[in-house]
Amino acid sequence: MPKDMQKKEFMECLSNFMSDPEGLTQEDLMADLAEQKIDVNQLKIDVAQIVKRGSEEMRLGWKRRAKQRMGEIKKLFEITKSIPDTAINIKDKMGEFIKDNYGLGAFKLVEAYFRNKGTLSEQDIMSLLEDLEQLESLGKIRPKKDL
Amino acid sequence: MPNNDDVLKLLESADWNNIIVQLTRYASWHASWYKWKTGGYGQLPGGMTPEDIAKNAIKKVWSGTRSWDPEKYPDLLIHLQWIVDSDLNHLFNSKEHLTTNRIIESDEEESKELTYNNLIHNSSSLNEAIHYKTPEEDLIIQEIKGREEKAQKELYAMVKGDEDLELLLSCFEEGIDKPELIAKEMGWDVTKVYTLKRKLLRKATAIMKIMEQD
């Protein structure tokens, strides 16, 4: 960039000053757009649709991710079922899986859960994982990638 | 980075009716400046309008293409303005546009985008967005200077007789465009600067016309 292009120029200042809404009323802004033949009502309709669609898609995205993760959990249960209990430490396996998928924060919660419960049924573990899913979607725990 | 639920709640509760008005104005004035600067008149590249630019910026925030981190950048409008500038920069800098006047859809915009801080601190970000290369560089700079002098002359003629507006334009000549700084420079109350802005806004059509002239 040449040196003499570095200084903010007159026309740029004019554009920055005019585009900045500071000190202008809503009426001023609307009048400016009307002057430029921009249909404000149509803009508002369009943006409402964008917001509605964006909001729906954002929520659906979470559901999709949660569903996918629950599928992975179920798969893990299938594997552990096919291996004799003596050959595998299910608690450790679950701990590893939770650490990988939900992060260290969730793992600590689960450790406490295991400590407090002497024995665990498959149903207990499923409920625990469902709780974790809900906590994560509410942002109470963070996935591993955010740690 | 706050969790998705918090971001969603903030996005859903934002005043979109107000944001779209402000963002479209921003896109419109900045697009005019880009067109003026590059000597391109009439429509934006690819037949885009300022409304399209503003709406696309909002879509990008919702889709996550340009996700918003309210902890880092609390002002959603500033974040959207940054996207608008980045997109305008991309539109006007695409090599294909420069040679064929058509736009390209490219994922490479990240490498060319303006930095967010540039926009916030307003450090001549739009100047930096348009890159000229030697040997035509000097020629282009001279051409821009010539057009700037012509536009300035016309703008001063437009406000002739109104001493305050003339002084306001002189601030732009010094590179000062923030109301607080203008007020300080001129020894005015900032509300006077706002009044002058409204006065100048009533001449918006004439200003745009000057920016559209070759």
pLDDT in tens, B102-146: 444 444 444 444 555 455 444 444 555 555 556 677 887 788 888
Alpha helices in chain B (DSSP H): 4-13, 16-38, 50-63, 76-93, 95-100, 109-112, 116-121, 125-129, 137-158, 163-173, 179-186, 190-201, 204-212
Residue B176's closest chain A neighbor by CA? A13
Chain A positions touching B80 (Cβ under 8 A) are: none
**Preferred mutation among A3, A9, A145 to probe B, highest tally of B CBs within 10 A:** A9
Question: Rounded to two decimals, what is the model's pTM?
Answer: 0.68
Q: From CA B80, how far away is CA B26, in angstroms rounded?
A: 10
Which residue stretches of chain B have pLDDT < 50?
A: 95-96, 99-113, 117, 120-125
CA distance A45 to chain B (A): 9
Identify residue A93 by its one-letter amino acid code: K
Judged by a CB distance cut-off of 8 A, whether residue B149 touches chain A is no
ipTM of the modeled complex: 0.79
Q: A23, A2, A27, A17: which is closest to B32 by C-alpha?
A: A17
Chain A positions touching B33 (Cβ under 8 A) are: 11-12, 14-15
Q: What is the pLDDT of residue A137?
A: 61
Judged by a CB distance cut-off of 8 A, whether residue B167 touches chain A is no
